[in-house]
Amino acid sequence: MTAITTSCETLTTIIKANPRAKDQSEVTSLQKTISTLRDRLLHLENQLKIQDGNIQIERSNNEANIKSLQSLLDETRKQLQQSCETSQYEFNQYTEKVKVKDDEIQQLTQNIQKLKKNLDTAQDEVIQLKLHIAAQLDANMAKETSATNKAATNQQQHTYDTQSKPKVLFLGTSNIKAINEAKLTTAATVEKVVKYTLKENSSFCNFT
């Protein structure tokens, strides 16, 4: 475009400086050339303005896009940072919960071991108690069996003695009430009968 402007100026200078070039046809030709060059120059200037406007618009759009992208990048960076902080916080919380649960599990394991030990001890004590009770029952049963056998033997002996001994009637009035007839003799079975009058004694003897 600068070259075209320079050419127009050069042609104008030539026409003014060269009297011979003032022939009408030649002048007309040169003027047409100058006009064509000026039109071309004007067209190029317009295109340049349009191109410059487009460049400005594109630059503005690019700047706006850059600002938007920068803002989006900053927002994304901020969100990522917040997300990282939140994730780190949640991770720390989860780690703390896991630690608490692990401590609880260890405590429960210790409690279970203690309870198992106490249960084993209690079971041993129960077994010992059962053995002791069984031994006591066996001893008591042996004693009861021995006592039963002895009582049966004594009863049999008493029955035998009672059956084999003669019966004696010990008859009297109130003065014999204090006498224990069983201690009078072992050779006979004494039956004590108290009668308060001689008439009763006589009647009883006659009845017997």
pLDDT in tens, 2-42: 554 555 556 556 555 555 544 677 778 878 888 888 888 89
Which residues fall within 8 angstroms of residue 196, CB to CB, at 6 or more apart?
A: 173, 174
How high is the pLDDT of residue 76?
A: 92
* CA-closest candidate to residue 190, choices 201, 179, 204, 178: 179
pLDDT band of 128, cuts 50, 70, 90: confident
Backbone CA torsion sign across 11, 9, 48, 28? negative
